[in-house]
Amino acid sequence: MSETRHVPVMLQRSLDLLAPALAEPGAVVVDCTLGLGGHSEALLRTFPAARLVALDRDPVALGLAGQRLAPYGDRAILVKAVYDELPEVLDRLGIPKVQGILFDLGVSSMQLDEAERGFAYAQDAPLDMRMDQTTGVSAAEVLNTYPPGDLVRILRTYGEEKFARRIVDAIVREREKEPFSNSARLVELIRDALPQAAKRTGGNPAKRTFQALRIEVNGELQVLERAIPAAVSRLAVGGRIAVLSYHSLEDRLVKQVLAAGAANTAPPGLPVVPERYQPRLRLLTRGAELPAEEEVAANRRAAPARFRGAERIREDNP
């Protein structure tokens, strides 16, 4: 088991941003992406008056995090759910509003480190990539059954892969000979499909294709598109939201939702802006903050992280 899995990204920054909202007794903080519980444990330890609700779709992560958080007893409630289900989870628990929300997006260290999950391109494994292995289609099914046009769209949109057409042409040729099942064959195919110049820069040439497949298999962007507005809607006035994203597509979605909440929606030219048009959010970060160089040196998985935060300053407009 790799030690890197125990290192939450930008942990102190997350705690500092959420701190003003979590000092009062009875404050509730939601960790929407529990993983192995690193952020959750730090929240419970740092804010002894707060209660935690933590969500994850991965039953293995829930089990491991449950052991880790057991010392905190009933201050921690762990729920198997995808993070766009946050409103339904809070309704079931009878919690109308919360004071803090944290998202640490992307794939967890545990999922990357467990070879049999098929997330990592550096080792041969079944092409699965489902965060919840009890439901949905695997990466192998996507590769073997999707029409070529859909595969090209997925690689271009979710992987920002310039050579999507070349890679997909090779995939279609190969899957007719034999369906894909393991990652090593796909990695080799991608290496062969790319021009020499493209293989000399940017790390492993399979990285973008694997990212694209993972996002498709787990519906990550569609879920996120619903989840951030849903989370903002459950923040109490004075509550704070912190979001860590790991690629430009996630960060763009987060930026759009927070910026929209921080804008006034009045028609132009009004001499006084009525209450219903006033911003609901105040941005707490200027643009996306990056991890410090020292953190990246100590934990390479922090390198692509982008951090944004906002505070709820007004109820929803009637």
Known binding-site positions for S-adenosyl-L-methionine: 37-39, 56, 83, 104, 111
| Helix H or strand E segment including 297 | helix 293-298
Nearest alpha carbon to residue 181 among 245, 129, 237, 243: 129
Q: Please identify which residue in the block is written with the tokens 């994850």.
A: 56
| Spatial CB neighbours of 126, under 8 Å, sequence gap ≥ 6 | 116, 118, 138, 140, 181, 182, 183
Helices (H) and strands (E) in the chain, counts: 14, 7
Classify burial at 241, counting beta carbons within 10 Å of its beta carbon; exposed 0-12, middle 13-18, buried 19 or more: buried
As annotated, the binding site includes 37-39, 56, 83, 104, 111
Q: At 240, which amino acid appears? A: R
The helix (H) or strand (E) run that includes residue 309 is strand 306-312
Other beta carbons within 10 Å of 112: 17
